[in-house]
Amino acid sequence: MSLISHDVFHGDVFGQPEDRVLQGDRSLHHDVYAVIIEWIHQGKLRPGERVSEAAIARHLGISRGPVREAISRLDYEGLVIRRPRRGAIVSEFSVKDLEEIASVRQLIEGHAARAACQLLTPQDMKELDGLVASMKVAAEAGQWTETAVLNGRFHQIVVRIADNKILSKMWQTLHPLVWLLAPVASAHKPHDPESILARHQLLLEVLRAGDPDRAEEAFRHHVVQSARLTIEQWSTGRADRTDRTDRSKP
């Protein structure tokens, strides 16, 4: 199951009946988490803005407990910051934050790729192939948060295949910031579908080849390229928001 409910990708979440947003037999805090992520992505909750537990609960017609759990998860992942006696706000990221994330990703994923290319099974390749295909479909449908989540799962599986417990723990700490950050950082689409397909097919190719040096180099390059694109999007989105704010002033 995806981290993000497919139901929150269609249309305006604020305009949907609550039974379209919150699905009964799944964990309720999971669905509230998905809704808040989508609101951040859509710009309904912007960096620096307050995330009101009471207002969200009231809007969704639920108790505050599941909302509190969802906000706690977002706080743990770094997408929301809880401040003593002031509540929670949507995190604001800087270029330095993005560069630091990329630096750590290069180390983790480069090392993971070296091991994974030698341990890969046909079932692993089938799973990775399927994820790349699903990423392209999601991107073509304009489901940018879902695209980012599938992208994250692809890289997480490579780390899993490497079969290194310490590496996996490092990745789990970094993973939410990396893959949920891209759609939050900018209102622009992260990448075009053909680019997603080409860049990840290259990673599949080097994994199949089984050459550790080539695999490490390819994954490190992929991280650098992704970071550059994300920083460009973040900078463009920030400039657009500043320009709109300036134009709205009397």
Listed in sequence order, the DSSP H helices in 45-164 are 53-60, 64-77, 95-119, 122-140, 144-161
Find which of 82-86, 87-91, 214-218 is predicted with most confidence, using mean pLDDT. Answer: 214-218
Asked whether residue 108 falls in the same domain as residue 74, the answer is no
Indicate whether 124 and 206 sit together in one domain: yes
> Is there a single domain that holds both residue 128 and residue 68?
no
Q: What is the pLDDT of residues 184-219, one digit of tens each?
A: 655 445 558 888 899 999 999 999 999 999 999 999
Is 76 a domain residue?
Answer: yes
In a domain, 233, yes or no: yes
- Mean pLDDT (whole number) for 217-226: 94
CATH number of residue 82's parent domain: 1.10.10.10
Q: Can you read off the two tokens belonging to residue 23?
A: 């699905």
Amino acid identity at 4: I
Given this model, what pLDDT does residue 8 score? 30
Residue 250 inside a domain? The answer is no
Its pTM stands at 0.74
pLDDT, position 19: 34
**How many separate domains does the chain show?**
2
HSE-up of residue 4 (Cα within 13 Å, Cβ side) = 27
Say whether both 111 and 188 belong to one domain.
yes
Do 112 and 234 lie in a common domain?
Answer: yes
Both 156 and 177 in a single domain? yes
Same domain, 148 and 231: yes
| Higher-pLDDT residue of 242, 217 | 217
Q: Which of 90, 109, 128 is the last residue of a domain?
A: 90
Are residues 81 and 99 both part of a single domain?
no
Average of per-residue pLDDT across 240-247: 55
Same structural domain for residues 203 and 218? yes
Q: What is the mean pLDDT of residues 93-102?
A: 86
Q: State the average pLDDT over residues 78-107.
A: 88
Residue 195 is part of which domain span? 95-244
Shared domain for 118 and 175, answered yes or no, is yes
249 falls within a domain: no
**What tokens were used for 4?**
């993000």
What is d(CA 194, CA 191) in angstroms, rounded to the nearest whole number? 8
d(CA 240, CA 234): 10
Give Cα separations from 10 to 42, 57, 134, 142, 166 (angstroms). 12, 21, 17, 10, 38
